[in-house]
Structures are given as C-alpha cells and as structure tokens.
Amino acid sequence: MTPRSSAPGSAYGVRTKLHSVTNVLVALITARPGREVRQVALCNLRPLRIVVAAFAAGAMAVGVAACGGDDAPTEVVLVTHESFALSDEVRRAFEEESGLTLRVLQAGDAGEIVTRALLTAGNPEGDVLFGVDSNLLARALEGDVFEPYESPGLESVDDRYVLDPEHRVTPIDHGEVCLNYDKAWFAERGIPPPPSLDDLAAPRYRDLLVVQNPATSTPGLAFLLATVARYGDRGWQDLWRRLRANGVLVVDGWEEAYTTRFSGASGSRGDRPIVVSYASSPPAEVIFREPRPAEAPTAVVEDSCFSQVELAGILRGAANGDGARQLIDFMLSPTFQEDIPLNMFVFPVNREAALPPEFVEHAVVPADPLALPPEEIEANRDAWVAEWTRIVVR
Amino acid sequence: MRTDPRWWRALAYGVPLAFLTLFFLYPLAAIVERGLLAEEAGSALDVLTDPLTREVVWFTVWQAVASTVLTVLVALPAAYVLGRYDFPGRSLTRALVVVPFVLPTVVVALAFLAVLPEPLERGWAPILIAHAFFNVAVVVRIVGTFWASLDRRTAEAAATLGAGPWRRAREVTLPLLAPALAAAAAIVFLFSLTSFGIVLILGGPRYATLEAEIYNQAVRLFDLRAAAVLALLQLGFVALTVWVAMRLEARLAGTGRLGSERDVLERPRTAREKAVVVGSLGGLALFLGVPLAVLVERSFAIGDGYGLDAYRALTSPTSALLASPWEAILNSIVFAAAATGIAVAVGGLAAFAVAAPQGSRILDGLLMLPLGASAVMLGFGFVIAFDTAPLDFRSQPWLVPVAQALVATPFVVRIVAPTLRAIDERQREAAALLGASPGRVRREIDVPVAGRALAVAAGFAFAISLGEFGATVFLARPDRPTLPVAIFRFLGRPGELNVAQAYALAVILMAVTALTILLVDRIRIRRGGWV
C-alpha cells in the first residue's frame, strides 16, 4: 500500500477536498445528469453526498418558503382550526380590497385553538382568531384574549347570534347539530322515521342510533347539550338511560360515526340509519354523490337541532390591528358569507347573503333550534359530560 | 474520542445537545412550568391520587407491554426469514413492511373497522392488533438486519457439538440477537405507551391512555396543572424505559462478530426451508396486506362501482384545503427532506459521540426522550416558548421539520452508532501507525462506513417524517398543508368523493414511502448496522 502524503493540510489533500465539494455544488446547481453527477457518484462518499444534497435542497426550499413572511403591516394573520376553508377568488378579493396578504395559521380543532389563544394571551400567534364556538365562548372570554370591536357589518345580523354584547367576538356563521336519518332505510322497511327526540327511545328504533362521545367530539357534545336544553337539568339523564337500554352505539368522532357507521352516507357500509351530524349534511350528500340525486337521501329530525354559532375576534396584542378590523368586516360581507356554505358546510349569519341552490333546495334551517347560554355551558359542561359517561358508558 | 481534536468533540457533543435543549427541553419545561404554576384550586398531587388516573396509567402500561409482546411475536418469523435467507423480492419485502408505519392513525383505524369481525371491533383487542400492525416494521427491520449480519459459525459450531435447533436458538442465537431485540422492543414500547388516536377510535369510550388523558385535561377541561403533572409522569415512564433498555443493550452488546450480509444469507434449498420462508412472509403479508388492500379498494370505489374519480379530483383545487392536493404531496416531501437532513446531521454527530469507547450514554438516552414525551404538551410548549425575540419563530414553517427531526434523530443514532462501534479498532491503529492524524483516520475510515449507515438512516428518517409523529401534529403549517393533514381534512367532510380522496391520498403516501425506502435500501451497509 503506497501511502499518500500524510501531512494534514497538504496541497493534495486540500485540493481533493475542495474538488469534491465543488462537484456536489456543481451537480446541484446545473442539475445536469451525466459527467458531473457520474464523477460525484464514483467517489466513495456517494451516499453521504446524496444525503447532503437532499438536505441542502430541502433546507433551501424551506428557507425560501420561510423567507416569504414579513411582519410589517403588509399582512394579516388568521388563526383558525382545521375545518376552515376559503375559495381562492374570495381570498384574492380580500387581498385586493385591503392591500394586505392573508396568512392562515391552521392547526387543530376549536378546543385546541382556544387553548393556544389562552396560553398566548397578550402575545398572540396572529391577528384574528376564527373558530371559537358558542360552547367554548365563555372560557375564551374569561381568558381575556380578545379586543372589542363592533363591526358595521353587524347591522345585517340577527340579534340572537350576537352572543357577546361587548362585541369582543363577532358571529360569522352558524351551524345546527341535528339527528340525521337515512330515508331509504326506513322506506324499505316500512318504518316511519323518528319524528322527534322523544321517540328515540321507542322499541321500534332499537339499535338504530349512533352518537359521538361528548368528551371527544364537538357534535357529540352539542347533542348532549340539546338533550339538556330540551329536558332540563334533571330530565336528560333519564332519556340517556333509556337510550342506553335501547342499544345506542357510542363512537369516538364524527368521521367514524358518519362515514363508517351511518347507513345513509354514500359509500358507507354502516348499518345504523340515525346519526348525530349537521343540518348541512343532507345537501352535502347531494353535492358529493355521483350522479347527483334529485332529492336529498337523508333528512334531519328538526326538533333535535342544537344551535352552534361560530365567532371571530381580534386577538389582544395583535400586530396588525387595522388589518384585523378589515378582515372581520370582510368576513361579515356578502362576498365571504356566500362562500361559506359550500366550503365549511355551515350557514352564514348575514341575512343578505344568498344560499347556494343546493342548500335552498335540500337544507332545512330550523326556525327555532335548541340553545343554551354560553355561561351555563361553561359552568356545567364538565359535570354533565362526567355524568353522561357514568350513565352511558360505565 | 480522547485522541480526537477538541473542536470535533465539541461539535459531536455540542450540536446534538444544543438541538435537544433548544427544541425539546426548553419548550417542554416552559409548558410544564406554566401548568404547575397555574392558579388552580387544589394541589398538583390531586390528579395523581384520582382513581381514574390510576386506571388510565394501569391500562396504558399493560396495553403497551402486551402490544410489544404481540408485535415481537408477529414480527419474529419475518425477521428470521430476512435474517437468514436471500430470495427474490427481499428488498421489496423490506420496503413494504415500513408502509404501515407512516400511515395516519385515523385512516388505519377506519380500515380496521372495515376488516375486523364484529366481536373484535371494539375494546383492547383491536388496539393491540393495530399497534402490532404499525410497529411490525420496527422489529422486522432492526432485528432482521442485525440477524443478517450475525456470524453463523457460532451456531454451526454449536450444531457440530450436538445442540438441536431449539437449543441453538435458545442458547446461541437469542443471546446474540438480544441487543437488537431490546432496542426494537424499547422503541415499540415507547410508541405504544404514547399511542393516542388508535386507542380513542378502536378502544371506544371506555379506554384511554395517558396521552389521551393529557389531551383531555389540557384541551377539553383546560386544567393545565393536571396535564403538566401527567406529562411529567409519562416522561418518567419513558425515562425508566430508556434506562432499562440502555442497561440491557450495554450488558448484551459485543458478544458476537459481525459478518457481511453476502456471507450470511443463502437461498432456501430444502422444501422445508422454502415452506418456512413462504409461510412466514405469507402470514405477514396477510396481516399487513388486508387493511392496506381495504385502503386501496376504498380509494377506487365510486358509487356502486370503481373508478379513478378520486385520483382525478385530486388534481383540481378543492375547498377542503387552501392549496391543491398535489401541493400537499410536495409539501410533505419537502418538509420530510429537510427533517431528514437535520436528523442525519444531528444524529450522525451524536452517533460519533455515543459510539466512542468512552462515549456518552446519557446523550443517547436523552435523545430518545422525544419518542415518548407528550406530543400535545410539546406542541403547546412550542407556542409559548418561542414567542419573544430572538426566539420568535413559533409560526415559522421550518419548525415543522425540526419537530419531525426530534423523532427521527434517535433512529439515526440507533442505526449509525452500532455500525461505528463495530469498526475494528485495529484498522484505525494501522492507519495511525502509517502516519495519519486522528482527523484523517476519522475522515477516511469512519466517515465512509458511517456514510452508508447514514444513508440508510436517512431513508428511515424520511419515512418517519412523512408519518408526522409527535408534536408535528399540533404545529400549524401556514398555508402549507401536508399529506396527513390533507387526509384528515378530507375525512372530516361528508360526501363520498371526499372520503375517496382521503383514501387516494393515503395510497399515494404509501407509494411514496415504499419508493423511498426501496431507493435507499440499494445502498448497502457494509458492516452490520441496525435498520
């Protein structure tokens, strides 16, 4: 074995090292397959170089992406949950109208974003928080995370949606959590579908209901609150005892209940024809089915509907307060409000916003849904859920 | 290590420690401190003495133990086959076995619900089966690869001395395999201990693990103090597991010589050997393949028949995401590439520090902690720790690859360190004798060997990053959804087309993973190595 010059830093050693590094860079920059890449490949550090090249590419891509954001008041940051959706045209309309870039920070569900807002009160992650619902409102207000703002758009909104007289939060949309049932299933067997909440515990509806656990699911919680609102603080327990005796199935979340257990969902192999879902689920079944049916295959039990309002608020300590106010105004404008139903499957609060034809034809907007004041929910929710768990699960 | 230049030692110890401290210990400490100091009525010990907590802790521990045992039992036949035989499709098997590992739990849970018979659908049984499904990859690859590098002559010598096959397995092979088994079992135990989605969906309302309870306390009840106490309890279990695993490995390591795969593997010759190969692999294929087949089938199901509608719908922008689904695929790949780079850099340096004769076991143990720490608390920790300048980067997109790298780094160390340890010291001594400086010895002997191991580690780290474990789930990706996020959002909307698109994305995730592992596996490790 002929030793090479062994002195470190010899001319040969340095030249080889520089040569190899240059090879990698050249290959990266020119990205030409062929000679450079083959020369690089032939060296015995090939695996390491591929890894370094991949790392450099990945880091550059992420770095370039990260360099985009600039905290000067040219952008407004919206903090929201995973169910938020917005059409490109509407987003561009806002950006053109206001001259600001809209950045959306999306992670988790309503509970998680409220927790994050509470943890960062005073030094928030963004400018506007969207996604606080009526169940979590009292907790968010107690945590003093918002700055009051009364938007002029509120003139077109019904008073019953304005849950905070101090305008720390602004209503943006409302959705109703209702029992949905599979029309075809009941028609095939000649059984009338349940006309109201009271009939659910009847023997003919044995083993037909699937609900979500209120401890882990928002619609599940809403349904529990519906029974509390309907039967009062003393009466709801009895209904649930009877439901348990009648074979109610409790699952963890909406996805499992609706897509796997509910017989009325297209593509589902479920066998339960009654599920807790939303008033907007029947039109969704029309829109997302190929080919589109003339009539909605599912319907809601109207008196079981529980109203949920979703609100937005300017976070205290926001970097761009002006932009935040503009965004809230925009979210109440007909442009944004009319975009809501087909994106988020809830209803706009602005009475001047037109509903899409599928919703007009197939959706039922309950005239008088059940509701509970946010403070009462906040004070009793944990106790109610614990008691529900004792009655139904254990 | 003592002969290395000081700057190298500083780098090898300092960079991993700095990374761990800044991105793990500091946020976790911040959120735990916030929780313990919260103004709640009652003491911190209240939640520990609550009988519900005891139930939860007991369930968490026993299901983790049972899951580990089941996983090892299911994986061992396949590990045996991969460790002894060479057969067509060997690399494909090794790649495909990793695919379940990266799938999001909600998708797998739904596939299981479609497959499992009625009595097994709910309760602790499907939880154990699902854990085995996810974690088989860890055992098969770690134990299988290690098995393939064991010198067979020890077992052959025992045979000539009269030991039967079972005695050989018990007294020769098992002790030799023990370090790899201990490492794999520890990792599977940690993953099962901190399992969250599977338990909620398949266990039903009656079962909850510590992680689910932490989430419940932190998010649903907003009782940060209880959440912080439970998170510390979980960290305690994790530290205990890691310590036990390290002791086992230390005691068991170094009892055999490692050979090259080329010498060890042979084609199955007798009918019995072929039956064993086909039987083991067939069994594993059935176990892993049936839920995956359900996923693939659901992605093509439209109306009453089948079609490519879901895949075609993926190419158009959708209201479920703020970007088109193909962007989600690209984002996943870019983030995973960046995370892999970070994990390989940090993990590679740590491996040098750990593999040295007087190397630091503490560093090794510390790096394993992110595998078992509470993901939800760490996610919140990021939000409150990085909120003021100069550490003002909680909304930056690059935090996502960092969180992914936290989980991938211990795997890199596990893969590279044993390879470095296995380098014959005499080679280094010969080089030094011929006049090479310590730095040159490192460069020309250690780095090429480590390079191959690093490339294999990079493949595994890439798969882990695609699967988004740990705190990654709780981080916001400003305007840049990734594949698991996209799948989750599609599943959250009613409508058959949305569900089919979710499954289609899951199939694409599977394909990308399998392809990456296949590519990386072509770079063979020359000297032992652990995955």
Whether B493 and chain A come into contact, CB under 8 Å, resolves to yes
- pLDDT single digits (tens) B511-528: 888 888 888 777 654 444
Q: Look at B122-131, B147-156, B222-231, B380-389 and tell me which has the smallest mean pLDDT.
A: B147-156
Which pLDDT score is estimated for B231?
92
Contacts of B396 in chain A (CB under 8 A): 66, 69
Which pLDDT score is estimated for A341?
92
Please check whether residues B284 and B169 belong to one and the same domain.
yes
Of A54, A79, A118, which has the smallest distance from its Cβ to B337's Cβ? A54
B401-415 mean pLDDT = 90
- pLDDT single digits (tens) A279-325: 999 998 888 887 888 999 999 999 999 999 999 999 999 999 999 99
Please check whether residues B313 and B298 belong to one and the same domain.
no
Contacts of B387 in chain A (CB under 8 A): 120, 123
B371-388 mean pLDDT = 89
Mutate to test the interface with B, among A113, A127, A135, A252 (most CBs of B within 10 A): A252
Q: How far apart are CA B57 and CA B63, in angstroms?
A: 10
Please check whether residues B359 and B410 belong to one and the same domain.
yes
In a domain, B104, yes or no: yes
| Tokens (6 digits) for B183 | 């490492």
Residues of A numbered 164-203 whose beta carbons fall under 8 angstroms of chain B's beta carbons: which are they? Answer: none
Question: How is residue B470 annotated by DSSP?
Answer: G
Whether B7 and chain A come into contact, CB under 8 Å, resolves to no
Which pLDDT score is estimated for A267?
74
Secondary structure of residue B349 in the 3-state scheme? helix
By C-alpha distance, the chain A residue nearest B525 is A47
By C-alpha distance, the chain B residue nearest A91 is B322
In a domain, B335, yes or no: yes
- CA distance to B400, B424, B454, per residue, from A61 (Å): 13, 40, 22
A162-188 mean pLDDT = 94
Which pLDDT score is estimated for A14?
47
Q: How far apart are CA A265 and CA A181, in angstroms?
A: 10
Residue with tokens 């940060």: B224
Q: Report whether pLDDT(B41) > 90.
A: no
Helix (H) or strand (E) holding A256: none
CATH code of residue B441: 1.10.3720.10
Give the number of A-B residue pairs with CB atoms closer than 8 Å.
224
pTM of the model: 0.83
In a domain, B376, yes or no: no
Mutate to test the interface with A, among B32, B118, B346, B383 (most CBs of A within 10 A): B383
Which pLDDT score is estimated for B528?
44
User: Between A393 and B305, where is the model more confident?
Assistant: A393
In a domain, B122, yes or no: yes
Cβ distance A258 to B494 less than 8 Å, yes or no, reads: yes
Contacts of B476 (CB under 8 A, 6+ apart): A79, A105, A106, A107, A125, B395
- pLDDT single digits (tens) B259-303: 555 566 788 888 888 898 999 999 999 999 999 998 898 888 877
Residues of B numbered 342-371 whose beta carbons fall under 8 angstroms of chain A's beta carbons: which are they? Answer: 342, 344-345
Number of domains making up chain B: 2
Q: Is the dihedral of CA A328, A334, A338, A339 positive or negative?
A: negative
Whether B444 and chain A come into contact, CB under 8 Å, resolves to no
Cβ distance A123 to B394 less than 8 Å, yes or no, reads: no
Whether A14 and chain B come into contact, CB under 8 Å, resolves to no
Cβ distance A120 to B387 less than 8 Å, yes or no, reads: yes
Q: Are A217 and A252 in contact (CB under 8 A)?
A: yes
Contacts of B206 (CB under 8 A, 6+ apart): A393, A394, B123
| Pick from A275, A276, A274, A299: nearest CA to A286 | A299
Whether B205 and chain A come into contact, CB under 8 Å, resolves to yes
Please check whether residues B326 and B470 belong to one and the same domain.
yes
Q: How far apart are CA A356 and CA A354, in angstroms?
A: 7
- CA distance to A94, A156, A219, A226, per residue, from A153 (Å): 15, 6, 28, 30
Secondary structure of residue A274 in the 3-state scheme? strand
pLDDT level of residue B222 (50, 70, 90 thresholds):
confident
By C-alpha distance, the chain B residue nearest A342 is B319
ipTM of the complex: 0.85
Q: How far apart are CA A347 and CA A281, in angstroms?
A: 12
pLDDT level of residue A173 (50, 70, 90 thresholds):
very high
Q: Report whether pLDDT(B362) > 80.
A: yes
Torsion from C-alpha of B515, B294, A343, A138, nearest 10 degrees? -100
Q: Are B516 and B463 in contact (CB under 8 A)?
A: yes
Mutate to test the interface with B, among A12, A62, A249 (most CBs of B within 10 A): A62
Whether A116 and chain B come into contact, CB under 8 Å, resolves to yes
- CA distance to A89, A339, A361, B339, per residue, from A356 (Å): 16, 9, 9, 43
Whether B302 and chain A come into contact, CB under 8 Å, resolves to yes
User: Between B77 and A56, where is the model more confident?
Assistant: B77
In a domain, B92, yes or no: yes
Q: Which of B271, B302, B333 is where one domain is finished?
A: B302
pLDDT level of residue B158 (50, 70, 90 thresholds):
confident
User: Between A127 and B427, where is the model more confident?
Assistant: A127
Give me the half-sphere count of Cα atoms (radius 13 Å) on the Cβ side of residue A355.
18
Residue A389 falls in which region: left (phi positive, over 0), alpha (psi -120 to 50) or beta:
alpha
Mutate to test the interface with B, among A55, A133, A280 (most CBs of B within 10 A): A55
CB atoms closer than 10 angstroms to residue A365: 15
B118-141 mean pLDDT = 88
pLDDT level of residue B529 (50, 70, 90 thresholds):
very low
Q: How far apart are CA B260 and CA B150, in angstroms?
A: 8
Q: How far apart are CA B74 and CA B80, in angstroms?
A: 11
User: Between A336 and B179, where is the model more confident?
Assistant: A336
Q: Report whether pLDDT(B321) > 80.
A: no
Please check whether residues B315 and B197 belong to one and the same domain.
no
Contacts of B337 in chain A (CB under 8 A): 54-55, 57-58, 61
Of B205, B338, B396, which has the smallest distance from its Cβ to A250's Cβ? B205
Which pLDDT score is estimated for B188?
92
Please check whether residues B448 and B494 belong to one and the same domain.
yes
Residue with tokens 């929910």: A377
Mutate to test the interface with B, among A266, A278, A342, A388 (most CBs of B within 10 A): A266
CB atoms closer than 10 angstroms to residue A323: 23
In a domain, B328, yes or no: yes
Q: How far apart are CA A210 and CA A272, in angstroms?
A: 7
Q: Which of B302, B317, B332 is where one domain is finished?
A: B302
Q: Look at A65-79, B77-91, B202-216 and tell me which has the smallest mean pLDDT.
A: A65-79
Cβ distance A66 to B205 less than 8 Å, yes or no, reads: no
Contacts of B497 in chain A (CB under 8 A): 288-290
Helices (runs of H) and strands (runs of E) counted in chain A: 14, 10
Contacts of B118 in chain A (CB under 8 A): none
Contacts of B474 in chain A (CB under 8 A): 107-108, 112
Whether A389 and chain B come into contact, CB under 8 Å, resolves to yes
Which pLDDT score is estimated for A2?
41
Q: Report whether pLDDT(B428) > 90.
A: no
Secondary structure of residue B58 in the 3-state scheme? helix
A330-340 mean pLDDT = 95
Whether A247 and chain B come into contact, CB under 8 Å, resolves to no
Q: Are B395 and B387 in contact (CB under 8 A)?
A: no
| Pick from B311, B335, B527: nearest CA to B424 | B527
pLDDT > 90: what percent of chain B?
A: 25
Whether B206 and chain A come into contact, CB under 8 Å, resolves to yes
Residues of A numbered 339-378 whose beta carbons fall under 8 angstroms of chain B's beta carbons: which are they? Answer: 342-343, 345
φ, ψ for residue A307, nearest 5 deg: -85, 135
For residue A109, give the amino acid letter. D
Cβ distance A269 to B114 less than 8 Å, yes or no, reads: yes
CA distance to partner chain B, nearest, from residue A79 (Å): 9
Contacts of A251 in chain B (CB under 8 A): 201, 204
Q: Which of B286, B302, B318 is where one domain is finished?
A: B302
Q: How far apart are CA A40 and CA A27, in angstroms?
A: 8
Secondary structure of residue A269 in the 3-state scheme? coil
In a domain, B243, yes or no: no
Q: How far apart are CA B183 and CA B141, in angstroms?
A: 12
Average pLDDT, chain B: 84
Q: Report whether pLDDT(B128) > 60.
A: yes
Q: Report whether pLDDT(A271) > 70.
A: yes
**H helical segments located in B216-357:** 224-252, 261-264, 271-300, 309-314, 325-355
pLDDT level of residue A78 (50, 70, 90 thresholds):
very high
Question: How is residue B480 annotated by DSSP?
Answer: -
Q: How far apart are CA B324 and CA B523, in angstroms?
A: 34
Please check whether residues B347 and B266 belong to one and the same domain.
no
Residue with tokens 């909406």: A254
> Which long-range contacts (C-beta less than 8 Å, at least 24 apart) are formed by A59-63?
A59/B338, A59/B341, A61/B334, A61/B337, A61/B338, A62/B334, A62/B335, A62/B338, A62/B397, A62/B398, A62/B401, A63/B398
Cβ distance B219 to A83 less than 8 Å, yes or no, reads: no
In a domain, B81, yes or no: yes
Cβ distance B448 to A290 less than 8 Å, yes or no, reads: no
Whether B178 and chain A come into contact, CB under 8 Å, resolves to no
Of A103, A139, A392, which has the smallest distance from its Cβ to B222's Cβ? A139
| Tokens (6 digits) for A258 | 């609706």
- CA distance to B359, B403, B452, B453, per residue, from B409 (Å): 17, 10, 16, 13
Contacts of B437 in chain A (CB under 8 A): 6, 8
Helix (H) or strand (E) holding A207: none
Please check whether residues B287 and B328 belong to one and the same domain.
no
Contacts of B478 in chain A (CB under 8 A): 69, 103-106
Q: Is the dihedral of CA A135, A140, A143, A149 positive or negative?
A: negative
| Tokens (6 digits) for B91 | 């690399």
| Pick from B37, B58, B369: nearest CA to B210 | B58
Please check whether residues B487 and B445 belong to one and the same domain.
yes
Q: Are B153 and B176 in contact (CB under 8 A)?
A: no
Mutate to test the interface with A, among B8, B55, B312, B496 (most CBs of A within 10 A): B496
Please check whether residues B182 and B279 belong to one and the same domain.
yes
Q: Look at A23-37, A94-108, A254-268, B398-412 and tell me which has the smallest mean pLDDT.
A: A23-37
Contacts of B334 in chain A (CB under 8 A): 58, 61-62, 65
CA distance to partner chain A, nearest, from residue B384 (Å): 6
pLDDT level of residue A274 (50, 70, 90 thresholds):
very high
Asked if the bond preceding B494 is cis, omega within 30° of 0, the reply is no
Structural domain span for residue B133: 59-216+261-302
Question: What Rg do the C-alpha atoms of chain B give, in angstroms?
Answer: 24
Q: Is the dihedral of CA B478, B483, B487, B488 positive or negative?
A: negative
Please check whether residues B285 and B346 belong to one and the same domain.
no
By C-alpha distance, the chain B residue nearest A339 is B319
Contacts of A45 in chain B (CB under 8 A): 447-448, 451
Whether B427 and chain A come into contact, CB under 8 Å, resolves to no
Please check whether residues B296 and B411 belong to one and the same domain.
no
pLDDT > 70: what percent of chain B?
A: 93
Q: How far apart are CA B338 and CA B512, in angstroms?
A: 16
Which pLDDT score is estimated for B526?
44
Q: How far apart are CA B364 and CA B370, in angstroms?
A: 12
By C-alpha distance, the chain B residue nearest A281 is B494
